[in-house]
Structure 1
């Protein structure tokens, strides 16, 4: 089945064929992303409007160090402004063409539609499915972990009571766990030995969840291929 047929079936709104899984664009996450980019535009533009009249031309008359430092500062603010505008436009286009942005897993193929760009790879040719970043926090730790976490020393309890839980070792560990690094998901297409990026944000859902489902599909496809070869 070619890519257009797969997309057409996935977008019908009817029940998917047996064994298919789709990850559509999550409009809510994209909208929040657009709001973030708008904030970046406002911040970058506002800071430039405030700072430029102050530093130009005065800072460019005070020697090399002042010139370099001022130029770097203005370049960073300009990068925030231009980058936020570009990313905001990309997200707006994605939102307006949400039906053309989707990940579809069939029994035999991986397909990702990213606007006009369509990537289709047979599951049997997928290798090294690799999510990057920090996995979601486990809200249900094992009993052993729970017991260990509850065994706090007297000094830690006193410090937490006086200075706040954030200064204790366990509090700092929890804060570090809550910090999420940017997540992405990719695999290798062994037909060309090239890396295929599946997602680089959460617009289709959690990359680790998508990776787990994709690995199951790949394992099933390999098992079917091996079974057919043995026959």
Structure 2
């Protein structure tokens, strides 16, 4: 089956052993709300700052002018970037039925609007998920998690200034910053990386990775 036939079959009635990952509209909606707030913040600060700093700040010397320009560019970047991403998410919601990941026993197919990626699973290698893996609920891990609970001092600090400023909160933010959520693999036909997801809009990237590995790795492989 070609990509179009696989997508049509998946939307109509998936065959046995096919795994479908549709667009999670609720997550995209929350993302859209976040980008809308970012646009309002960036655009609002830009509009408020312009009449205050222009032209006075540019009349106070070169350094003042450069600093003012940088601040205005940051506000404009936040507003314009958030607007672009908000529109992108709105388009995804409008065309939700054309955003889909299908994994069969032989093929990987992803549709994003008019763009379709089709890779035979025989050519999929090095499936790599990055980000924070789901919490392991096994006994040993639960014990480790209990040991990492904030102590009384951290709890008091978090109560007055917010958990984000406590030691555990700062460490959590650092981990999130170092590990953005994404999933990719190598297409051996072209030796190029294929990006599967860059967020959680199709579900947990680690779950998608597990399905890909199940169909592409032999049972005795250590990563199976």
Displacement of 1:85 after TM fit?
A: 1.2
Deviations 1:141-192 (A, max 9, x none): 534761794599xxx966468656999xxx7347634763420100100110
Q: Does 1:180 align with 2:176?
A: yes
TM-score normalised to structure 2 length: 0.84
Partner of 1:228: none
Q: Tell me how far apart the structure 2 counterparts of residues 195 and 58 of structure 1 sit (CA, whole Å).
A: 50
Aligned residues: 213
Q: Tell me how far apart the structure 2 counterparts of residues 164 and 86 of structure 1 sit (CA, whole Å).
A: 35
Q: Tell me how far apart the structure 2 counterparts of residues 147 and 184 of structure 1 sit (CA, whole Å).
A: 26
Partner of 1:227: none
Residues 109 and 201 of structure 1: is their aligned pair in 2 closer, same or farther, counting only changes over 3 Å?
same
Candidates 131, 139, 148, aligned match of 2:129 = 131
Deviations 1:99-146 (A, max 9, x none): 1100000110000001101000000101111111221233x2534761
Query: Which 4+ residue blocks in structure 1 deviate beyond 6 angstroms?
Result: 164-167
> In 1, are the aligned partners of 2:21 and 2:203 still within 8 Å (CA)?
yes
Partner of 2:139: 142
> In 2, are the aligned partners of 1:137 and 1:177 still within 8 Å (CA)?
no
Local SS of the residue matching 1:107: coil
Partner of 1:35: 33
Identify unmatched segments of 5+ residues in structure 2: none
Local SS of the residue matching 2:21: strand
Between stretches 158-167 and 63-72, larger displacement belongs to: 158-167
Candidates 191, 194, 200, aligned match of 2:192 = 194
Partner of 2:202: 204
> In 2, are the aligned partners of 1:130 and 1:185 still within 8 Å (CA)?
yes
Residues 163 and 117 of structure 1: is their aligned pair in 2 closer, same or farther, counting only changes over 3 Å?
closer
Local SS of the residue matching 1:180: helix
> In 1, are the aligned partners of 2:154 and 2:167 still within 8 Å (CA)?
no
> In 1, are the aligned partners of 2:31 and 2:89 still within 8 Å (CA)?
yes
Partner of 2:119: 121
> In 2, are the aligned partners of 1:30 and 1:203 still within 8 Å (CA)?
yes
TM-score normalised to structure 1 length: 0.82
Residues 50 and 172 of structure 1: is their aligned pair in 2 closer, same or farther, counting only changes over 3 Å?
same
Local SS of the residue matching 2:17: coil
Partner of 2:23: 25
